[in-house]
A and B are shown apart, each in its own frame.
Chain A
Amino acid sequence: MKILTCPMNGPRNIDEFQSFGPMREAPDPEVASDADWARYLFQAENQPGVVVEWWRHVPSNYFFLAERDIVTNRVLRTFDPGEAE
């Protein structure tokens, strides 16, 4: 089983985690066009290579971000969302 390193709980089996998919930047709903909003709803990062995505460590309910190569499945980095800015 793959190991994912939780920024809070350290390396754990990946079956302790739940994937919440690639990070998506929501446009401002007040000004975004319908087309832009539809794109936000239906498009997700899927380009072969490194994707920044959300994960939940289920036992501790901690959400964090991971940089993962979705071709090799190698995780380059995991970090707290507070560090994302």
Chain B
Amino acid sequence: MPLRLLKYGLSRRYPVRGDLPPTPDLRPAYDVVIVGGGGHGLACAYYLSRYHGIRSVAVLEKGWLAGGNTARNTTTIRSNYITPEGIAFYREGVQLFEEMSRELDFNVMFSQRGQLTLAHSEATLRSFHLRAEMGRHLGTRIEVVDTKGVEALAPLLHMDYGGALEIVGGLWHADGGTARHDAVAWGYASQAARRGVELHQRTEVLAFERVGERIGAVLTNRGRIGCGNVLIACGGMNYPVALKAGVELPIRNFPLQAMVTQPLKPFLHNLVSSVSLHTYLVQTDRGEVVIGGGSDPYQLYSTRSTLDMKEHLAAGAVHLFPFLKSVQLTRQWAGITDMTPDYSPIMGASPVENLWLDCGWGTWGFKATPVAGKRMAETIATGRVPAILKPFALARFGSFRLLNEMGATAASH
């Protein structure tokens, strides 16, 4: 038994750590106002307060902390992207996850069990080779495996030899893994709060006051606050919030659904996903199998679930693992994703001087929580966009410098 737990067992009273302080009253002004109390916003607040000495920070969350896509995602962490810019960025994200639990003194249960993406066609395999070549060139752990390799990594997988969905190989990404999504946000929130960052739950942004080329103040349902810099990092609400500041983002919102089975004794070690089936599976440390796939087929700001998507995900899951047919599903849910035209995020400057963007995270934002937080904090603190973020600028669309990651996000997120 870890020694840390002795404290709980041996003390007479439960030793309260007080991870999340209650929402305080709003002050008249803050150096930085972060709109959105999800993983990204909280991470940015943490890095600002810990590494840049900026402690006058308010995180505004209209609901409860980390209650949006941070709470709803399926926790895939990986860097097996296509573009060199994307790989370099997400690689740093994975590295930060490796240190996160100890950095935050909060076990986020980062587990690099590896991700196996399946190819059912030569064309997919060819695209895997490209991702593997690029990833290896940039120092990530990634390789294409043949059918023997797939069988070794996921022995219970139905290979469908001779069938229309025959597995012809896979992309093995040893750096891939999962973490306890809520814990990531709580860890950042807790450490940020300890350094003076204020967490304001049930605080909704109603409008921004423009003063020339700058945001002068943020109007909330709890009052007006002055601001030095503003960061927009509110997931599914990025588009309407940015529009309140006069910034139009190239974003469309789509629901993303997922579901989970009852707990089973562990049988699936790695993350497994199939591009052709639009399905991925991961078994959590509770034993539940989390199943996800592609986005809904039309634009919507709603976290409703559909039977159609559930049936589709179930079909993919039982194709890959036929014995799952008799396994019971417990719950399905949805998040609202903000999709960009090139399936890459928008980070950095906006047309408004002191307004910064951490948007367009679509279906793939969780894995970037630490690196986006760290680099956006650096951006805000120095007023300069670091090189690693520059390719993700909003301005890339007008100059067709797109970072097309569609192939790397279609089913794995």
Contacts and interface: CB of A to CB of B under 8 A. Distances in A.
Tell me, yes or no, whether A and B come into direct contact in the complex with CB atoms closer than 8 A: yes
Contacts of B306: 1-2
A8 interface: no
A72 B302 contact: yes
B64 interface: no
A57 to B, nearest CB: 14
Interface residues of A, number: 24
A7 interface: no
Contacts of B239: 46-47
Contact of A46 (B251, B297, B302, B304): B251
Interface in A8-60: 15, 18-19, 21-22, 34-35, 38-39, 41-44, 46-48, 51, 53
B397 A38 contact: yes
A43 B398 contact: no
A84 B114 CA distance: 52
Given A34-B398, A35-B398, A38-B397, A43 B248 contact: yes
Which 3 pairs between the two chains have the least Cβ-Cβ distance? A19-B298, A42-B250, A38-B398
A60 B55 CA distance: 60
A61 interface: no
Task: Give the interface residue-count category, chain B.
Answer: 20 to 34
Nearest to A35: B398
Interface in B224-264: 239-240, 243, 248, 250-253
B23 to A, nearest CB: 25
A71 to B, nearest CB: 5
Interface in B284-313: 297-302, 304, 306-308
Contact of B307 (A1, A47, A71): A1
The prevalent SS among residues of B at the interface is: loop
Contact of A42 (B298, B300, B307, B397): B397
A73 B300 CA distance: 7
The prevalent SS among residues of A at the interface is: mixed
13 contacts: A15-B308, A19-B299, A21-B252, A21-B299, A41-B397, A42-B397, A46-B239, A53-B298, A53-B299, A70-B299, A70-B301, A71-B302, A73-B304
Interface string B67-78: 000000000000
A72 B78 CA distance: 34
Contact of B302 (A1, A47, A51, A73): A73
B341 interface: yes
Contact of B301 (A1, A19, A39, A48): A48
Given A1-B306, A47-B240, A48-B301, A70 B398 contact: no
B351 to A, nearest CB: 12
Contact of A71 (B298, B301, B308, B397): B301
Select the residue from B243, B298, B302, B397 with max chain A CB neighbours within 10 A. B298
A1 B302 CA distance: 15
Nearest to A38: B398
Contacts of A46: 239, 251-253, 299
Given A19-B297, A19-B299, A46-B299, A70 B243 contact: no
A31 to B, nearest CB: 18
